[in-house]
Structure 1
Amino acid sequence: MVGVLVSERIGQFFVETHAGRDRLEFTEYGAGDAWVVLLPGELLPRRMQQPLARTLAAGGLHVLTLDLLGHGRSDRPADPQAYSVTAFAEQVVALLDHVGAPQAVVGGPSLGANIALEVAAIAPSRVRGLLLEAPILDNGVEAGILTFGPLLLTARFLPLAVSALRRATRPVPRGVVPFWAGIALDACDQRPAAVAALVHGLFFGRAAPSALERRRIRVPALVVGHPWDPMRPYADAEMLAGELPDATLVRARTALEWRLRPGRLDEAALDLATRAWHAPRRRRRAGS
């Protein structure tokens, strides 16, 4: 599929929260009725999913990439109550409503994987399959606190440091640096009050569906685990694959395999999404 061209369109929609009306931005790749929604990792823009989105669209899927609230080019309110995994999952459902997609395969890395699980928990009829890379569950809690706790404290009590990093990195033209260097620069484009609110909201909200809820998710799922990744330990991916009734577990060769050598995992994702759309949709039994 190398060299296959697919259409790309940028769109926006609005969500209502207790604090007001917020704008979210997304990119649409390809066409058709076999929808896929790709989410970014924490603090990263939707552009990180551009390579995979193009691959899936070239394979005949209709792909959306979304900047969640507080990410990328979407609005960034400075209110901790605006941010939670459940709120992000509701934004995915709102995106599906906006484009008129009854169902989609939903996925992403890290935070994106947790949100995809939450979509399957709160709106099971909207999820056709799951692409879950390096979820953060029981075994990754301590490392997550050690990683994002200092960011929260810095944004709250040393906001000039966050602003200085933004001012230093924002002028760098993204077109003159390698793709993933540009994504890293985008991740540095943070506003202190907004990033503090986002991390605060994630710390004190629900991180993922419970193990009982996860066992009730009966759609095809690809679970990709990272080796030697303390914040997103392989043990969490292995545990999740054992809980989901229709999961395929793949061990990445390195934590950066899907970024630097994506061919093998791209193929696995395309196979899963295609299988999810060609398989009959299972009906949920009463009481399940």
Structure 2
Amino acid sequence: MPRQCGQSSGPIIRRSTGLSSYAVSLVSERIGQLFVDGCRLEYTEYGGARGGDDRWVVLLHGQLMTRRMHQPLARALAEAGNHVVALDLLGHGRSDRPDDPLVYSMTAFGEQVLALLDHLGADEAVVGGTSLGANVSLEVAAAAPDRVRALVLEMPVLDNALDACLVAFSPLMFAARYLPLTVSAVRRVTHAVPRGLVPFWAGIVLDTLGQRPGPMAATMHGLLFGRIAPGARIRESLEMPALVVGHPRDPIHPAADAAMLAEEMPNATFVEARSIVEWALRPDRLTEIAAAFLDEVWSGDAPSQARSVRST
């Protein structure tokens, strides 16, 4: 990746943010940063109440979103004994946001995750994410299968989603590039709303809407005109356990893509969500499934063949 961010690869700064009371037991949270080709990336590290130093889990956000979207899940998985790290990929959240579309690609994002594992000293991790984060997780698994213990993939974007993605995201890219005042105006409005006064997921929506036109256009250009995910033959070769979550009635993330991916991967479990927003608004069922899957993965009892869990 070209050096575009104007950052030096100086010392890593890590600071404690205290303790969270999200779960029954307190879960420590620490903010950290690393530099990849001069660009600064920020992450939050969640420590489990039962330790979990070797049970690394990396969570990756969706397109234009931030790592904060995974805060509830990260806290729950950390409380279950995992060492969870949520990363802001380049161009997102509190990480650097260069204007050059050449620095954005699925493969570049995958390299950033591997750099994060190196920075943390983690030989292997469970890697997972939502939408963009699911596709980046596949890239990590394809590039370094020995570093990926398992995958947790929510709403992967594959063949069946391409048309809907072009329809949904092309106008946003056009607006950011040719009508930047519209994006800046939305940013000013969203930044005026105190996050502490709105529900958690309303705050996530506001964060997503608070884009800068240059980086937004560059990010979407780099992704729309690059490789979306590893090809089918590569996906079929990924033998690590995988939990694949599909949403019904989601045009941008059709459940057919999730089901297809689960069929392609030899050791995948397909889970059908009850709705698009189940994991956001009623997370208990899917979080329990994910936590149980991680227990199986780290104990060595993960499923050795594909299976399906349907919503009820």
What range is the shorter-chain TM-score in? over 0.9
Are residues 94 and 280 of structure 1, via their aligned partners in 2, closer, same or farther at CA, if it must alter by over 3 Å?
farther
* Match of residue 138 from structure 1: 159
The CA deviation string for residues 162-192 of structure 1, in whole angstroms up to 9 with x for no partner, is 0000011112111111000000010011110
Gaps of 5+ in 1: 282-288
The one-letter code matched in structure 2 to 1:229 is D
Q: Which residue of 2 aligns with 1:198?
A: 219
Match of 1:286 in 2: none
- Would you say 1:120 and 2:141 are equivalent positions? yes
Residue among 4, 29, 53 paired with 2:46: 29
Q: What amino acid is the match of 2:81?
A: G
Q: What secondary structure is seen at the aligned counterpart in 2 of 1:151?
A: helix
Match of 1:110 in 2: 131
TM-score normalised over the length of structure 2? 0.87
Gaps of 5+ in 2: 1-21, 303-312
Match of 2:94 in 1: 73
Distance 1:193 1:100 in 2: 34
State the distance in 2 between where 1:121 and 1:104 align.
14
Moved over 3 A (4+): none
After superposing the two structures, state which structure 1 stretch, 266-275 or 241-250, moved more.
266-275
Task: Decide which of 255, 261, 265 is 2:286's aligned counterpart.
Answer: 265
Residue aligned with 1:57, SS? helix
1:256 aligns with 2:277: yes
SS in 2 for 1:24: strand
Asked whether 1:243 is paired with 2:264, we answer: yes
For residue 280 of structure 1, report the CA deviation from its aligned partner: 7.8
CA distance in 1, matches of 2:80, 2:146: 24
Contact 2:125 2:147 in 1 (8 A): yes
Q: Does 1:91 align with 2:108?
A: no
Query: CA shift at 1:272, angstroms?
Result: 1.5
CA shift, 1:276, in A, is 1.5
Share of identical aligned residues, percent? 62
1:173 and 2:194 are equivalent in the alignment: yes
1:37, 1:66 within 8 Å by CA — same for their partners in 2?
yes
Equivalents in 2 of 1:186, 1:11: separation in Å? Answer: 20
- Answering whether residue 244 of structure 2 is matched by residue 223 of structure 1, we say yes
Shift of 1:270: 0.8
Alignment check: 8 A CA contact 2:23 2:75 kept: no
Whether the 8 Å CA contact 1:41–1:108 is kept in 2: the answer is yes
Deviation sequence 1:199-219 (CA, Å, 0-9, x none): 000011111011000011111
SS in 1 for 2:40: strand
TM-superposition CA deviations, 1:50-72 (whole Å, max 9, x none)? 00000100000000000000000
Partner SS, residue 153 of structure 2? strand
Q: Measure, in 1, the Cα distance between the counterparts of 2:43 and 2:247.
A: 27
Instruction: Confirm whether residue 158 of structure 1 aligns to residue 179 of structure 2.
Output: yes
Q: CA deviation at 1:79?
A: 0.4
